[in-house]
Structure 1
Amino acid sequence: MTSSFSTSPIALSFPVPNLVFEGCDPQRWNGGSIVKSQFWNSMSSLLPNIEFCAIRSLMPMMQHINDSKLRSEVRLFCDQENAHGTLHSHFNREHLHTNYPLLKSIEAWERHCFSWMSKFLPQRLFLSLFVAVEHWTAAFSQHGLCTPDAWFAESDRTMFQLWEWHAVEELAHKSVCYDVYRYFKGGYVTQVMGMLLLLLFIMLPGICVRLVYLFSKDKVWWHLGTYRELAAYLLGRQGVLRKTFKDFLRFFNPRFRPWDINSLPLIEAYLTQRNVVQDTQQVLHKVRSNCI
């Protein structure tokens, strides 16, 4: 039995893609659809605050982690989250804030909320929030990479590369916050409270407020077809929420561990396709026996 709290079977560093968003149409980059594009634009606006907040929360904890493997994974996690937040913020500033200025105010208000929560919530409860975030983003990443044409058919190439790279890194480090939470003796009840806090006070209101504003600016918020398309995209046979719902529910099983869902084949496919590292097959073969 390993002495490490880490449950990550693999920890790979991925190069940050050099992306230029200059030719991107923020309104229709995802298959020419306003609805699909604005759903992911809402995510792009929402996620950087969460990612930067996670970094600020985890970095001070590193000095109290005596598990060398876990500590190195926290450092890599923070580097990757910083890269995500920076690239999405770059896209947001170039395209979203210019065309949809109220997003800046929404993001600023959320930063104040995160600052308040970091000061007044118990440490374990605040940390459980990021355990929930990582589970939620990993579920999206798993299914988005499995069937990219269902969610990103005929999308702008640069934007697809952004979300594909983001998804792969989310899978690679999906257990880090959970392992840190366990290291600091976080329990099941607080873990569930973190997910409820995330859904009720951050994700659902954050996405809904953004979508209403974006649809309003695009002058489609009163069209019935807008909400039909949104419902189909989220709840249809290949819908974003429908496809991830089963994995989302796994979070509420007290015995669940992030790597109960094997993401190694998706990471391997990305590495091989992008030729990111040499001897990819050998690297993953060495760790596959440690995966579920």
Structure 2
Amino acid sequence: MSVSVLKEKTKQKTPASFPVRRMDYEFADMPKYWCNNEPTFTHYFTGLSTLFPEGESYFVRSVRALRGQIKENEQLDRDIGAFIGQEAMHSKEHHAFHLSAQQYGLDPESLEKITGTMLKAIEKTFPKKWNLLVTVGLEHYTAVLVVEMMKNVNELMTDETIRNLWLWHSVEETEHKAVAYDMYQYLYGQGLSAYIPRVAIFTFSIALITLMSNVYQVMLMSRDKQMLNLKSWVKFAGFTVQAYRKLVPQFFSYYRFNFHPNDTDESEIVAQTKIKIGLSPEQSTFIH
């Protein structure tokens, strides 16, 4: 047997480290205010959600643009394939959620289009390395947020289908949180020349996503004619202050020179969340 044939057989037997799950949620009966029964909470998370379809498509393009350079690392290549599969499903399901939300006249799909326009402009301006770094940084941002989602925030969601959407997404973000980072490290190393652009692009990315998510919340509140609902704004402000006291130190861990996404272990909360939403082996397809 030739060496090339042996390598190909070995590669075929190398599965990804995590599965791609085929989900198909139905959102038709969702209430108008499905998070804490409040417009501010609901519109914040809807605004955040509108970043995902175009954002995760951008993530997929950023890793695909450089994937050809990591083919020798078979495990990483398979994990990138699974990462692409998971992100594609997230885009699909969040888009379906936004279409269902049209029934309340809030048009969250229009915010997806704004996100897409902005990200395509960034993609054209940035070199491939920087586009990958936007993905790396925002994967860390998301990985921090989803732990809080699994631990606490999901309890505010009164609609079971929307809660399950966010929890399924949270599980998978935790599963693939290190893939883009490992790809960057494999391609560009761990020295100062890799560190400086990593933290610089992260600073840009976290500022952008914070700005966009807050602007989208305000736009949705305006469309819903709830801008002067001071009681709801006060409740959301209290929630935000409490949440960010916990989140900010974790976001900033990214600035450590020797940072790695797997420095933290979320296996226990992920296991609990899988049980909570009934994820079973039948819902998992491993990439081989």
Relative to the length of structure 2, the TM-score reads 0.84
The one-letter amino acid of 1:217's match is R
Question: Structure 1 vs Structure 2: percent identity of aligned residues?
Answer: 23
Tell me: CA distance 1:109–1:39, structure 2 relative to 1, closer, same or farther (3 Å).
Answer: closer
2:167 is matched with which residue? 164
Could you tell me how far apart the structure 2 residues matched to 1:55 and 1:89 are?
16
Q: CA deviation at 1:248?
A: 0.9
The one-letter amino acid of 1:250's match is S
2:39 is matched with which residue? 34
1:24 is matched with which residue? 30
The one-letter amino acid of 1:114's match is L
The one-letter amino acid of 1:204's match is T
1:141 is matched with which residue? 146
Structure 2 residue matching 1:251: 3-state secondary structure: helix
Q: CA deviation at 1:251?
A: 0.8
Whether 1:269 and 2:272 are equivalent positions in the alignment is: yes
Could you tell me how far apart the structure 2 residues matched to 1:44 and 1:136 are?
14
Tell me: CA distance 1:56–1:97, structure 2 relative to 1, closer, same or farther (3 Å).
Answer: farther
Could you tell me how far apart the structure 2 residues matched to 1:248 and 1:160 are?
24
Unaligned runs of 5+ in 1: 1-9, 279-292
Could you tell me how far apart the structure 1 residues matched to 2:157 and 2:228 are?
26
User: Retained in 2: the 8 A contact 1:133–1:198?
Assistant: yes
Moved over 3 A (4+): 103-106, 270-273
RMSD: 2.0
For residue 194 of structure 1, the aligned residue among 189, 201, 206 is: 201
2:85 is matched with which residue? 79
User: Retained in 1: the 8 A contact 2:140–2:251?
Assistant: yes
For residue 242 of structure 1, the aligned residue among 245, 251, 255 is: 245
1:6 is matched with which residue? none
Q: CA deviation at 1:28?
A: 0.6
- For 1:139-189, what per-residue CA distance to the aligned partner results, in whole angstroms no more than 9, with x for missing partners? 0111221234xx533520000000000000000000011011112206111
Q: CA deviation at 1:275?
A: 5.3
User: Retained in 2: the 8 A contact 1:54–1:130?
Assistant: yes
Structure 1 residue matching 2:188: 3-state secondary structure: coil
- For 1:226-253, what per-residue CA distance to the aligned partner results, in whole angstroms no more than 9, with x for missing partners? 32112112112xx2x2332221111111
1:285 is matched with which residue? none
- For 1:121-149, what per-residue CA distance to the aligned partner results, in whole angstroms no more than 9, with x for missing partners? 1222221111111101100111221234x
Could you tell me how far apart the structure 2 residues matched to 1:80 and 1:195 are?
22
The one-letter amino acid of 2:39's match is I
Could you tell me how far apart the structure 2 residues matched to 1:56 and 1:122 are?
13
Could you tell me how far apart the structure 2 residues matched to 1:128 and 1:256 are?
14
